[in-house]
Chain A
């Protein structure tokens, strides 16, 4: 059974594309056949983050309009052979997307035997974001521990519960998960940043993962390598844990949420 997962947030710049790329890699690494689709028509980034930007010939809108087949548009990842990217169009805008067109592409991917289809949503609550979440079975809502991000995610959770196909049909609801990104235990301890408990309290949901603030994320974007593949990084390990929890291992304890204890030399010599 193919599972359609939307990665959304409401707020921009919180780490949706970074997360989509890493989750897609993490899932594909376990042998699953994964497609990740960039829904940010006109402002595409997923291809950059995955290092495929020079290999985009056909895009999502081309497939919807019938200019090409899905196979021609899907870009196979060079590192993991069960991972495929469907890039967004850069020259059009979100009006080029239609609900029927999106459904058609998703159906074709399902027929093609994909295990997971990740939909990388654009920021906002307009058409692109709406269509990215509309057919979802599960949602990963990316939140920064910061007040405007939390407020926007609350709005998005409301939309997931009301403006999706599952909500409209009235059956099983979209499964919602929170992913906290750019978390800094030091700042939380200093009382400068919302804690995991604060976010849970406001949004009423448990987190499926906490990704620590990490300089590796910038390096990863620059290198076109999803951060989960950068082995020495805390963020990579945290994404790995999140993937495991997505796949069902909910008892995995959270890492990187406590302030790192400074060793003797670190305390004496600083840093």
Chain B
């Protein structure tokens, strides 16, 4: 059977999934000037951090669905404060309707930091508060500084189980079974036999690495670049191995050689 002539040109793009953390601006009211003022005040504390940052609009705390024109005003206010709106973050019917009109994607599935209910109650009683402080509380949700020591997991990770270390390294001091998944935003260390899947730098940290004592992994991924091990290369199988990203390529090396 004659193969088709190799006429396909080399592609000019690569499509890949990545994961990234994104600031959210949860609107309580849609008063553009007040939003701009509030944002300016918050940014003043750390201007470099916020300059040109992408943010996502969260409309879930608004009492009534806003007009498209009003939201355009809000987006402009955010832009004047130095930030760029890149999406709408809740997948409510409101958001689904408004997002296309604003030419923004709906980025659903955010994990929220929970806010104490007291603040929401305050927003509902604007008359009782002095005007500037009132219900306008767009809330950039900045995560509290994460613990810096890694997440230590001492039990074997059994088939079907998944362990995820958010914003830090994962250290497993037992075996990781076939069909199990160990993941971290930072590095993944397995001081035992790794038979399952290991994913480091899950949210895009290309410097993350994987270290393991006995390498028998099914799949290794770093910052979204992955390799499946249908067969284990002889020089790595059963040995202490580390994996890292060099540009776009995954590299593996054996310790002690």
Evaluate contact between B159 and A154: CB separation under 8 angstroms. Answer: yes
Evaluate contact between B179 and A154: CB separation under 8 angstroms. Answer: yes
What band does the interface of chain A fall in when counting residues whose beta carbon is under 8 Å from B?
10 to 19
What band does the interface of chain B fall in when counting residues whose beta carbon is under 8 Å from A?
10 to 19
Query: 8 pairs across A/B with beta carbons < 8 Å?
Result: A151-B159, A151-B177, A152-B159, A154-B159, A159-B158, A161-B155, A202-B177, A202-B178
A125 — nearest CB in chain B belongs to which residue?
Answer: B160
B179 / chain A contacts, CB cutoff of 8 Å: 151, 154-155
- Does A140 interact with chain B (Cβ within 8 Å)? no
Which 6 residue pairs across A and B have the least CB separation, nearest first? Answer: A158-B158, A154-B159, A155-B159, A154-B177, A155-B160, A158-B161
- What 0/1 pattern do residues 151 to 176 of A give for CB contact below 8 A with B? 11011011101100000000000000
A151 / chain B contacts, CB cutoff of 8 Å: 159, 177-179
How many angstroms between the C-alpha atoms of A157 and B195 in the bound complex? Answer: 16
Within the complex, the shortest CB–CB distance from A218 to chain B, in Å, comes to 30
Main secondary structure of the interface of B (DSSP, over half): loop
- Please give the residue numbers on chain B whose beta carbons come within 8 Å of chain A beta carbons, in ascending order: 155-161, 174-175, 177-180, 193, 195
How many angstroms between the C-alpha atoms of A204 and B161 in the bound complex? Answer: 16
Evaluate contact between B156 and A204: CB separation under 8 angstroms. Answer: yes
- With A151-B178, A151-B179 given, name 7 new contacts (CB 8 A): A157-B156, A157-B158, A158-B158, A158-B159, A158-B177, A201-B193, A204-B175
How many angstroms between the C-alpha atoms of A157 and B160 in the bound complex? Answer: 10
A154 / chain B contacts, CB cutoff of 8 Å: 158-159, 177-179
| Residues of chain A in range 182-218 having any CB-CB distance to chain B below 8 Å | 201-202, 204
Main secondary structure of the interface of A (DSSP, over half): helix
How many angstroms between the C-alpha atoms of A201 and B193 in the bound complex? Answer: 9
The residue in B155, B180, B193 that gathers the most chain A C-beta atoms within 10 A of its C-beta is B155
How many angstroms between the C-alpha atoms of A202 and B159 in the bound complex? Answer: 11
A157 — nearest CB in chain B belongs to which residue?
Answer: B158
Within the complex, the shortest CB–CB distance from A133 to chain B, in Å, comes to 14
Evaluate contact between B158 and A161: CB separation under 8 angstroms. Answer: yes
B155 / chain A contacts, CB cutoff of 8 Å: 161
- What 0/1 pattern do residues 18 to 37 of A give for CB contact below 8 A with B? 00000000000000000000
A156 — nearest CB in chain B belongs to which residue?
Answer: B158
A201 / chain B contacts, CB cutoff of 8 Å: 193
A159 / chain B contacts, CB cutoff of 8 Å: 158
From B158, B174, B175, B195, A155 is in contact (CB under 8 Å) with B158
The residue in A154, A161, A202, A204 that gathers the most chain B C-beta atoms within 10 A of its C-beta is A154
How many angstroms between the C-alpha atoms of A152 and B178 in the bound complex? Answer: 10
Within the complex, the shortest CB–CB distance from A82 to chain B, in Å, comes to 36
Evaluate contact between B160 and A204: CB separation under 8 angstroms. Answer: no
B156 / chain A contacts, CB cutoff of 8 Å: 157, 204
B161 / chain A contacts, CB cutoff of 8 Å: 158, 162
- What 0/1 pattern do residues 203 to 245 of A give for CB contact below 8 A with B? 0100000000000000000000000000000000000000000
B158 / chain A contacts, CB cutoff of 8 Å: 154-155, 157-159, 161
Within the complex, the shortest CB–CB distance from B245 to chain A, in Å, comes to 30
How many angstroms between the C-alpha atoms of A159 and B156 in the bound complex? Answer: 12
Evaluate contact between A158 and B174: CB separation under 8 angstroms. Answer: no
Within the complex, the shortest CB–CB distance from B28 to chain A, in Å, comes to 38
How many angstroms between the C-alpha atoms of A151 and B180 in the bound complex? Answer: 10
